[in-house]
Structure 1
Amino acid sequence: MNNNVAEHVLVVGAGTTGISAFIELVEHHAAERIDIVDPGLPGLGMAFANTREELLCNTPAESMSLLAHDPDDFLNYLRERGIDASPNDCVPRVYVSQYTTQRYSEYCEKAQKKNIKNAYIADRVATVEKIGANRYLATLESGRTLNASHILICHGYGKPMVPEILGEHIGSPSLSITPYPEQKLIDSLKPNSSVLVLGTRLSAIDAALLLAKHGHGVTMASPSGEIPAVRTRAPDLTGKVDVNLKQIDFNGDRCHVELLREINRTLKQMGAPRLSKQICRSTNTIERLRAEIALAKQDSIHWQDILLAFLLQGNDMLARDMSCIPPKSLKKCLRMSTRYLSAIPVSNAEKMLHFLEQKQVNIIGAAPTNIVRDDQWLVAWGQADDEQRFDAIISAAGYTRPTLHMDEEKLTISPEYKGESREPKVSEELRICFPGEENPEKIWLVGVASYLRAPLVNGVFQATRQSEIVRRQLMQCC
């Protein structure tokens, strides 16, 4: 084995994060053998396994490259296909899955030319245990085992989150616990159906726009009734935005106020108006959406230019010291910023505004208190006379984070784990630590899977950045 080259790397997960990690390893010949384990096809992870071009990315094309050494790679791919996309365009998500699949195929060929052995195994990793110095045994759900020297855990979000009130109805033919796959959803509905979508975030927006386009009447519902903000371009990816989260007292009750003050300081430094001038506080959904679309078209929403800088610095701080931002404070700050972190492209916002104005989509700021199924769905909202009937219900409440469990002997990745365990300790370098071991293992968490130490990773750009950092660490400790 060559110096600084791993003997056998196992990549867990083949969504955009897993394929980005594979590309990074091949590009720098960081391993003699690279195996990927995922039950699905490469590139068809939870985020991009779509087929209809109506479903858009909520982040611009400029930030979607899987190649850390070539930030323009996704844009170049689109242009090679004759798609005239600008850096700030939010393109159909199906383009990302096609791009990921193509780049994976190309880097398999590169691996072959570099004499890097590689295999794609259609299965799931259930457990990982240490079997000696720098050796790990991964047991797959099929019972097969793999012996590896290094492991990158890159799997994304888990199962759909289903509101408890729907629990007894799971399996009903007119209940979908996720809007995806979207074609199956469309095919399951009779014409002009009345549909309740539980949720008002990104997957709920997808469902509402798709259903309304096909002539269905849609009611979206969540406790807040808030839909995401509107964005027009990618955040600054150069790292030149000057933010300073370290001066905020996250142990205090007013940390969210201090965060707002730092946001306004950063905006002022950029010559931009205060945040209050860039948002609309109306409680009327249509008024707020109309105003935010207007602000976006006037290029008056500069918060989108600084958002990533705050995320990256927050992740770096947490990676060094998880106690620097207590969970309560982190939750408070995220609650204040969630609708901006999940902002939708202005094109989708305009479609949503149209359907709201036409009353084809309605939004309720409440959660159902009772749901009964007869020939239709009878949904109560808290008042005795406040009931509605629907032909179908779709849960679009989001997805669970990947679950990791640690006991004295092994790391369990399966979301079906029922035993007693604890979350694993994760080092600043995003490496798993086994109980009783002095040093972290050669097992890294990348992308969404790194939430135990980097809870603010939510984009392809960040996962690609992590893949590069982890690859360097891997080569240093071979």
Structure 2
Amino acid sequence: MKNITIVGGGACGSAVFIELVIQILAEKLQDKVSLTLIERAEKVGYGLAFGTQQESHLLNTQADLMGIFAEEPEHFATWLNEKREKTKNTSTISKAEETYTSRQLYGDYVAEQLSIFKEKAKRGGIQVDYIHDEAIHLEAVKNEELKIDFEGRESITSAYVILALGTPKPNNFKECEAYPEFINFPWPVENLKRKVKKNDTVGVLGTSLSAIDTVLTLIDQEHQGNIKLISPEGLLPRVQPIKNEEIDRKFITLSNIHQLKRDENRKPKVKELFKLFMQEVEALEGFSLDWNSLKRDDRSAEELMEIDIYAAENNGDSILNLAYALRHDASTIWSWLSVEQKKHFGDWIGKYWQINRHAMPLHNAYKLKKLMEKDQLEVIGDFKEVNYLEDEGFEIKLNSGDKFKVDKLVNATGTPSEVESMENTLIQDLLQEKLIIPYEVGGIYIDERTMRVVTPQKDLPIYALGHINNGMLLDVNSVWFNVKSSMIAAKDILFKIQMNERIS
């Protein structure tokens, strides 16, 4: 009997558990494989991302891509419609809210599916153990097994371990953590609610989707003070249309990029990819564009919000729709780039890719626009540093020399790319024990064909899913992508178990 242990019971951990149950039952492997699911939180299936109780925290991906089954992406949308029909809760829901529903509701969906497949595993004769604790140490032991140590219980051993560690906190402002006016992470939202007073001027470090959710949390609490979103670029995500326009790509295709590889006998360059992207956009528009005029750095957040809302209300513009159309090919194209070119991408156009690929729901954009119109919300770029002022909060300094004060400061920069900056006990233990190798662009080295971790000592049976793979896989912020990765990992593990049995 081979045991497979999943460390983490959020969306990724639930997805791979469900996929393993499906495959074990289909292959009739109940007498050969057992499962263990480890989750430190009380509620399994939610994780940090979907455990929020804030109804204003919406999914940033359309519901019809969010199914927990890799081959049934529409499953969540179907489930959602059935729920609404049962509760007769359709008349008051806008099209925007219907397309980008709440994270809390998605967490309910994942937890429900997990519960269903727990029961299926039990009825199907699969031995399953559930451990409510935090895994803090992992090491190889005899018989090529792995020993897992916990915060509050005895160790276990397993033949295979899948790391589904979710969203680690950042530790990029450790110098601020000693001060009570600093909130190091906006989740769970109780810290934010407890520490921020209604009339505080709140500085939010970051302008990405995490920062927007922080603003929405404050507004849900009827916050009256000013809110300042602060980052080096000062760029908000763009606005997702309710329905993206379908694009039949002619230029930036896997076929064309692969042809470039074989013709030139080398890996593609970012400038070549961007040239294809530009050709595609101009073909969609029907005329040449002044690309310099599309730069956002010197335009106000208010002006850009007006432009982006208008585009979203009209099914999105060509750039936004093309970024969306590339969602299934982006990681393959990314894997064809050298490390040097990946770094060049991040330095040159990474910020523009991020704001187009990971845009905000239209419903949230309307809320931010209202705050801007009331002069309650300000978006500030050119961030340099932060300093603590005794009994006065924090002073924010910009590269221009300008500075201003905030009463409370929230770190909403999001989960860091570099594994060294991920505040997670097990991740840092694996790093210290040299069981993972940091990837130069972010995250760790894995075999992207199988999700197996590349270990510096010997080939250990460790797999990884989610954000920890961000440097090699690019699109790890997308649930549908992580669900697909879960299926790949499950298939590889069960294939190895079957093959090893036949060989022996």
Structure-2-length-normalised TM-score: 0.80
Question: Which of 374, 391, 402 does residue 390 from structure 2 map onto?
Answer: 374
**Identity over aligned residues, as a percent?**
22
Between stretches 425-434 and 262-271, larger displacement belongs to 262-271
Matched, 1:431 2:452: yes
Q: Which amino acid aligns with 1:429?
A: T
Question: Contact 1:236 / 1:308 at 8 angstroms: preserved in 2?
Answer: no
Instruction: State the shift of 1:80 in Å.
Output: 2.7
Correspondence for 1:260 among 236, 255, 274: 274
Aligned to 1:8: 3
CA distance in structure 1 between the partners assigned to 2:430 and 2:355 by the alignment: 32
Whether 2:116 is the aligned partner of 1:106: answer yes
Distance 2:247 2:127 in 1: 35
Task: Give the conservation status (yes or no) of the 8 Å contact 1:211–1:217.
Answer: no
Distance in 2 separating the partners of 1:389 and 1:206: 22
Q: How many residues align?
A: 461
Match of 1:147 among 153, 157, 160: 157
Deviation at 1:12, TM superposition (A): 1.3
Aligned position for 1:4: none
Matched, 1:66 2:68: yes
Give unmatched runs, 5+ long, in structure 2: 438-444, 498-504
Shift of 1:255: 3.9
Cross-structure match for 1:409 = none
Report the CA distance between 1:270 and its aligned residue.
Answer: 6.3
Give the aligned residue type for 2:409. Answer: I
Given residue 33 of structure 1, which amino acid in structure 2 is its aligned partner?
A: S
**1:110-151 CA-partner distances (Å, limit 9, x unpaired):** 111111111221223333333345533223344622222222
Aligned to 1:328: 343
> Is residue 22 from structure 1 mapped to residue 51 from structure 2 by the alignment?
no
SS of equivalent to 2:307:
helix
Whether the 8 Å contact between 2:436 and 2:455 is mirrored in structure 1 is: no
- The structural deviation recorded for 1:372 is 3.2
Q: 1:61, 1:91 within 8 Å by CA — same for their partners in 2?
A: yes
Write the letter of the residue equivalent to 2:426.
I
What aligned pairs does 1:61-460 form with structure 2 within 5 A after superposition?
61-82=63-84, 84=90, 89-142=99-152, 144-163=154-173, 167=175, 169-212=176-219, 214=222, 215-233=224-242, 243-244=253-254, 245-246=257-258, 255-267=269-281, 281=296, 283-307=299-323, 310-316=326-332, 323=338, 326-332=341-347, 333-367=349-383, 369-381=385-397, 386-401=402-417, 403=419, 413-415=426-428, 419=432, 421=434, 423-424=436-437, 426-427=446-447, 428-435=449-456, 437=458, 440-451=459-470, 453-460=472-479
Deviations, residues 353-388 of structure 1 (Å, cap 9, x unaligned): 111121011122132545233342251525999443
Q: Residue 200 of structure 1: CA displacement?
A: 1.1
Aligned-residue offset at 1:268:
5.9
Structure 2: how far apart are the matches of 1:26 and 1:268? 47
Q: Is the 8 A contact 1:196 1:218 kept in 2?
A: yes
Distance 1:236 1:443 in 2: 40
SS in 1 for 2:170: coil
| Preserved contact between residue 235 and residue 306 of structure 1 (Cα < 8 Å) | no
Structure 2: distance between partners of 1:443 and 1:128: 10
Query: In structure 2, do the counterparts of structure 1 residues 390 and 457 end up closer, same or farther at CA, with 3 Å as the change threshold?
Result: closer
- Aligned residue type for 1:129: E
Distance in 2 (CA, whole Å) between partners of 1:445 and 1:423 is: 10
Deviates more, 1:340-349 or 1:177-186: 177-186
Distance of aligned partners of 1:292 and 1:443 in 2 relative to their CA distance in 1, 3 Å threshold? same
The SS at the match of 1:28 is: helix
How much does 1:310 deviate?
Answer: 3.8
Distance 1:390 1:246, change over 3 A: same
Q: Does 1:35 align with 2:50?
A: no
- Matching residue within 44, 66, 74 for 2:46: 44
Q: How far apart are 1:395 and its partner, in Å?
A: 1.6
Q: Whole-Å Cα distance in 1 between the matches of residues 288 and 400 of structure 2? A: 45
CA distance in 2, matches of 1:420, 1:112: 36
Contact 1:195 1:392 in 2 (8 A): yes
1:199 and 1:222 in contact (8 A); partners too: yes
Relative to structure 1, the CA distance from residue 239 to residue 163 in structure 2 (aligned partners, 3 Å threshold; closer, same or farther) is farther
**Offset at residue 317 of structure 1 (A):** 5.2
> For structure 1, which runs of at least 5 residues remain unmatched after alignment?
2-6, 406-411
Letter in 2 for 1:432: V
Q: 1:322 to 1:280 in 2, by over 3 A?
A: closer
Whole-Å separation in 1 of the counterparts to 2:408 and 2:169: 21
Alignment CA distance shift 1:343-1:383 (3 Å): closer
TM-score by length of 1: 0.84
Aligned to 2:486: 467
More helix per residue: 2
Taking a change above 3 Å as real, the CA distance of residues 469 and 404 of structure 1, as seen in their structure-2 partners, is farther
Distance in 2 of aligned mates of 1:33 and 1:326: 42
Measured in 1, the distance between the counterparts of 2:369 and 2:147 equals 53
